[in-house]
Amino acid sequence: MEFFYVSLLCLFVFLVCLSLHFLFYKNKSALSYPLPPGKTGWPVVGESLEFLSTGWKGHPEKFIFDRMAKYSSIVFKTHLLGEQAAVFCGASGNKFLFSNENKLVQAWWPNSVNKVFPSSTQTSSKEEAIKMRKMLPNFLKPEALQGYVGIMDHIAQRHFASGWENHDQVVVFPLAKHYTFWLACRLFLSVEDPNHVAKFADSFDVLASGLISIPIDLPGTPFNRAIKASNFIRKELVAIIKQRKIDLGEGKASATQDILSHMLLTCDENGKFMQELDIADKILGLLIGGHDTASSACTFIVKYLAELPEIYEGVYKEQMEIAKSKGPGELLKWEDIQKMKYSWNVACEVLRLAPPLQGAFREALSDFIFNGFSIPKGWKIYWSANSTHKSSEFFPEPEKFDPSRFDGSGPAPYTFVPFGGGPRMCPGKEYARLEILVFMHHLVKRFKWDKIIPDEKIVVNPMPIPANGLPVRLYSHNMQA
């Protein structure tokens, strides 16, 4: 019996030692690598105020480059929007994140986004985004996009006729937002009436401004205003959805005319149809993504073409060749868009210098090692477009405007990332290309222009915009549009 107890004790000791060994071995790799260098700033708020304030001051890249110089040009730690975070920099950081999507990292949004976009199905913004990405390809595939060109041209003609022509001066950013929002309403909801579009356009501006902000829900804060705007827009969308149900039932609407009809008539794998509020949630996100970033890009195209006459002349020459090839009343076609190569190079250089998407967050799915540093599970990871876009390592003379950077095969992989990359590359990239090029076509064939405020400040909130909206003085070509 004594022998039995001794044996049992030895077995127990052996198992404890074995457990300790595996526990030590499992954590050895994580323990043997340090966290990235950097600081976490103030309690609770971390470095969020400095991160946001450099954008408000017009130099969002300063937060990134200051820390790249002080800590590491590849990765540094910080504390943003209430979370421990690592900032990945450069092409190697972009490649690592984009290549490991849903393996080592996954998309992450601050809690403020879930509060501004409260899903009616009680799922997270991340889960709703996954559902949307599965639904979008049918509406953004090449054959669908080809059909959008004529619609975009028609809306652009109406937009320029009502908002630009017969004006000596205009403020560009509100007009650019009106153009891209009108297109999104028409193509996603079949809402084309300008008065209907204008009814809730202003609320989208409030929503966008408070989306990435410090989540303080007190009256008057950007976050509080964003929540109120989100609720107002959702009610407006539900009214549109209810009317579409009636129109579909009476044969006044088509099952394939837009993404709203598709959502109403498509069931999931269990045979369930989406509820009205669920559809409103998804359309709300689509309308934000479908117009906000492109309006910033269009505004900066106007800015740079005003500052660079030789670039303007190149775009004007290309667009006029296309305009002169069209018959009276003939709309632009897909083939015309493919001829706008120089214009798109110009737009890409604008997107490099003033990327609407400054960067994005990911979340570590497990502990992993990057560039000799440990990234703990649950940490948030931020990648910055400016860490490559404005780096002389990847773009010589990075502040110089040079569309030829995009000739041939263009920039090196993972260096030009205005639309992200990997599995999470913006699914609307080609849609954005179309609406930007149609805008450029109608703009330059009608006008030349000067900036009224030569040194107008740029602010980032959360996208770059001129502080005064970019007022310009117009000079018409006196051409029949």
Q: Which residues are annotated as a binding site?
A: 426
Question: Which ranges constitute the DSSP H helices of 104-171?
Answer: 111-116, 125-135, 137-140, 142-163
Task: Please check whether residue 142 is in contact with residue 173, taking contact to mean a CB–CB distance below 8 angstroms.
Answer: no
Q: How many CA atoms lie within 13 A of 107 on its CB side?
A: 18
Q: Is 471 helix (H, G, I), strand (E, B) or coil?
A: strand
Question: What is the arrangement of strands in the sheet containing 169-171, beginning at the earlier edge strand?
Answer: 169-171, 471-476, 447-451
Question: Which ranges constitute the DSSP H helices of 255-411?
Answer: 259-265, 276-307, 309-324, 334-338, 341-353, 386-389
Q: Is 354 helix (H, G, I), strand (E, B) or coil?
A: coil
Binding positions for heme: 426
Considering only CA atoms, which of 103, 74, 99 is closest in space to residue 89?
74
Q: Omega into 137 within 30° of 0, i.e. cis?
A: no
Alpha-carbon distance of 186 to 282, in angstroms, equals 16
Neighbours of 344 (CB within 10 A): 19
Q: What are phi and psi of 448, to 5 degrees?
A: -110, 165
The CA-based angle 151-154-157, given to 5 degrees, is 150
Residue with tokens 């300008």: 194
The CA-based angle 234-238-239, given to 5 degrees, is 120
Virtual CA dihedral for 413, 96, 401, 469, nearest 10 degrees?
130
Encoding tokens for residue 154?
């028609």
Helices and strands (H, E) in the chain, number of each type:
18, 12
Encoding tokens for residue 470?
């970019």
